[in-house]
Structure 1
Amino acid sequence: MNSREIIARRIAQEFNDGEVVNLGFGMPTMAANYIPNGINVILQTENGGLRFGGAPKAGEQNPDLGNAGGEPITMLPGGSAFDLAFSFCIIRGGHVDATVLGALEVDQNGNIANWKIPGKFVPGMGGGMDLLVGAKKVVAALAHTDKAGNSKVLKSCTLPLSAAGVVKRIITDKAVFNVSSKGLELIEIAPGLTEADVKAATEADYQVATNVKTMTF
């Protein structure tokens, strides 16, 4: 598995029966393909869809149905598609149990930066700001380090924030952290790595759980 698949498969383990879960574009939307058997969640997409499944088989795509990244999706029995205004009624109304969003940076205070790199044009923050404050649980998914090997799990974010103090769990290709008012707690480590490997790749301060586990897929 490459790092993106590792993260996507681990994201899918966050889902609980009956939850309404929003998946942001990128690795979060990939998680729809790896939901464990027996877990029934209601996936919601920001652009206007409820109760969708994984990617369709080649040749079975419906051009009118797509996830937040514009990728083809399947609709499950009872699923529906609707306009953006109704979608944000769900998000802003507090009906989303969890959202999983990609990130450029996260930090030990639960802050997240996922929309703006100074000097690069972006059209705006989009619906991320609504999801970050509207969902009951926020999960951040990102590569642990950038291409130069610098940590993206920081003591304090350096990029413009999308929201402050909202992240409850961080999933990377190296580790999983819980986030609380006490800071970060390392609860899982990727296969083949040690806590020392995680420490070397992480700028943020964190505590190690007494029962830290190896990530499984």
Structure 2
Amino acid sequence: MSGKASESEESGSKNAVAVEDLKPSELGTKNYWEDNFKDELNDFKNHGIIGDVWFGEDIMYKVVNYLSDCHLVTEESKIVDLGCGNGVMILELAREGFKNLTGLDYSENAIELSKTLVTTNEHDATFKMANLLEEPDKLDLGKYDVCLDKGTFDAISLCPDLPQSEARAKYFTNVVNLMTEQSIFILTSCNWTTPELISMSADYLKVQETIPTPQFMFGGKCGNVVSIVVFNKK
């Protein structure tokens, strides 16, 4: 999944920005991810290969370290990974000592792979099939202290089956329904800049802070390859 060139976060993060829809892609389809995680599941079972760490290990550890240092989060906090994929994030959180972990994914093969990875490494977690583009009144997944998304919103933004404005509305409504008034939601994206994430979620969420990520210079402007924003329920 290729990221967009990032705007300056310093100049745009507090103001609404125009958001252009992304071109739909097979990366936004369930069939693509079922096939992808089927291959990863076979690789893990046959060769012990875990598979891709979405956005790289450095970005994953930034989120894990943030949670470890956050005074609002304890080892007993209920944490859900939205679009858990191969389960690497759940495994790293378990290794860090977090005990109340749930992974959600709409791919059956992803759920099986995640379960296999976590149990093979002698940790515990709960995994549930769920589609965050489902009608919000049809999902009842409980409440969590921490909601994490590392790449799922990016994939949803490439979905060819719904207008992107409708997909975003369903996604953010479903995320908010997982949160309490004290919950935090950490959204990690390579397709959207921080100002764009803030603008798209403004009707549902408010910004608590951003997590610094590696920067690059292009055309005299400074930007980020990956954006990580910490939200609270509005």
Class of the TM-score when normalised by the shorter of the 2 chains: 0.3 to 0.5
Structure with greater helix percent: 2
Which structure is higher in RCO with an 8 Å CA cutoff and minimum separation 6? 2
Structure with greater strand percent: 1
